[in-house]
Amino acid sequence: MTPQDASKHARDICSLAPIVPVLMVQDVAHARPLAEALVAGGLPALEVTLRTPAALDVIREMASVKGGIVGAGTLITPADVRAAKDAGAMFGVSPGATDELLAACEAADLPLLPGVATATEAMRLLARGYDMLKFFPAEASGGAPALKAIGAPLPQISFCPTGGVSPDNALSYLSLPNVICAGGSWVAPEALVKGSKWAEIEALAKTASQLEPK
């Protein structure tokens, strides 16, 4: 997969809804009902971070949920890429980007949303052919004003800001012309997941799916 194709696929996935849930799931038993609740609420693209021992099994379970498009987050090494692909991940997300990681995703035909925090990082990825990127950590890197400033000289690049995005500031990002969607964890709070409060999670997802700038 070429970087151009990877970015096209990533852009298509990011365009499905204004919010991509960022999920850190501890118990594989929660995987299917959680995915079903989020998809039913209008958020089909799901990022499962590889931060728990259960993550790969969670991806396997969620990958079979009708209407869901499940990706693997926190990809750092080529081994992560292979494991995520084998588990059924349909896309990948990384906090940053190395040549080794990019090459592994391209070889595995796994569309990648690579992370950047600066204009230089964004320019390097653009030179390789990537024009759909993750802005991370969004709030710690200056928030929506910083992303707006980066977009001025680099209008050909689109972003999915992640990291500190919340219901309170999501619209400040989504209103930017260079933002396609945002990543957020608030749609699946740990307490609601552990309590199997799937109807409440679906309601949060529905609200998030309707976020749009006025």
Catalytically active residues are 47, 134
Paired with 4 in beta bridges are: none
Place of tokens 């990877």: 6
Which SS3 state, helix, strand or coil, does residue 172 take? helix
First to last CA, the chain: 37
Find the Cα–Cα–Cα–Cα dihedral 99, 105, 111, 113, rounded to 10°.
-40
Task: Return all residues near 98 (Cβ < 8 A) that are at least 6 apart.
Answer: none
- How far, in Å, CA of 78 to CA of 80, rounded? 5
Task: Tally the residues of the chain.
Answer: 214
